[in-house]
Amino acid sequence: MADESSEIDRFAADLDSLAADLRTADTAFAFTGAGVSTASGIPPFRGEGGIWETEFDPRDFRIGRFEADPAGFWRDRLALHEAMFPESVGPNPAHAALVELESAGVLDAVVTQNTDGLHAEAGSRRVLELHGTTSRVVCRRCGDRQRADPVHDRVRDGEVPPTCDCGGLLKPDVVLFGEQLPRETYAEARDLAGSADVVLAVGSSLQVEPAASIPRDAARGGTLAVVNFDPTPLDDRADYVFRADVTDLLPALARRLAG
């Protein structure tokens, strides 16, 4: 973690102002992207060092590939999962700070592009997972959802493709290329965007659609704070732009709203 005295003090006035905005907001939510996950040691999909650039071909993870070759898909999916999630992965101080903001009554939800499940693991109560979660699988026949870890073990033991008790194919409960976002989750996130007074866009390039439309729409009527190392398309419309480590910036914000 960076030294706060050198990295965060320069944002003190803006953090104080943002904290005041959150205190008076009727509705506020956080929109999180890969920058929150990479702080936990999870590699990004895109960009320098990204999974799609170095190890895997995204075409292997299309819904059409799953339907045409479920056994081959599951072998590649297990390899992808193991590359992305070493055993030591867990929530980081940015996740914890969002839990604190929710507990303080100033944050209504976390809307996330991430599939790692770390927001829920950290303790966030209302998490809208736009792209699903790697922690579950879903049956394509009966719709039953179950924990993914035991299914991964079955794949390691040679059961490819894994099936449900009903005989249906099991699929990772994530949005594959070629699939739409989960309708109800996306609609709930859009409703939040329409009513939000403050949105924190954290660790996201704000370029992946249609998810990126959520903070963009929220910015039209509310206060937008962007926390990201790299420039985003919404920086010129944001009320606050923080070029800072999310694991430093969010805890500094949470401390201002504690109690």
CA–CA separation, 143 and 149 (whole Å): 18
Measured in residues, the chain has a length of 259
Q: Give the pLDDT confidence of 93-140 residue by residue, as tens digits.
A: 999 999 999 999 999 999 999 999 999 999 999 999 999 999 999 999
| Helix, strand or coil, per DSSP, at residue 165 | coil
In sequence order, which ranges of the chain are alpha helices (DSSP H)?
Answer: 4-7, 12-24, 34-38, 51-54, 63-68, 70-84, 93-103, 118-122, 148-156, 183-195, 213-221, 246-257
CA–CA separation, 132 and 148 (whole Å): 12
225 is in an annotated binding site: no
- Examine the pLDDT at 44 and tell me if it is beyond 90: no
- Helices 246-257 and 93-103 sit at what angle, rounded to 10 degrees? 20
Find the domain containing 1 and state its range. 1-42+91-131+181-259
Same domain, 185 and 210: yes
175 is in an annotated binding site: no
Same domain, 259 and 192: yes
63 is in an annotated binding site: no
Question: pLDDT exceeding 70 applies to what percent of the chain?
Answer: 97
User: What's the predicted TM-score (pTM) here?
Assistant: 0.92
Catalytic residues: 131
pLDDT at 5: 52
CA–CA separation, 189 and 195 (whole Å): 10
CA–CA separation, 74 and 152 (whole Å): 9
Query: What is the number of structural domains in the chain?
Result: 2
Same domain, 143 and 208: no
Q: Give the pLDDT confidence of 172-211 residue by residue, as tens digits.
A: 999 999 999 999 999 999 999 999 999 999 999 998 889 9
- Examine the pLDDT at 258 and tell me if it is beyond 60: yes
CATH number, domain containing residue 219: 3.40.50.1220
CB burial string 165-198: b at 16+ within 10 A, e below:
eeeebbbbbbbbeeeebbeebbebbeebbeebbb
Same domain, 186 and 216: yes
Tally Cβ neighbours within 10 Å of residue 117: 19
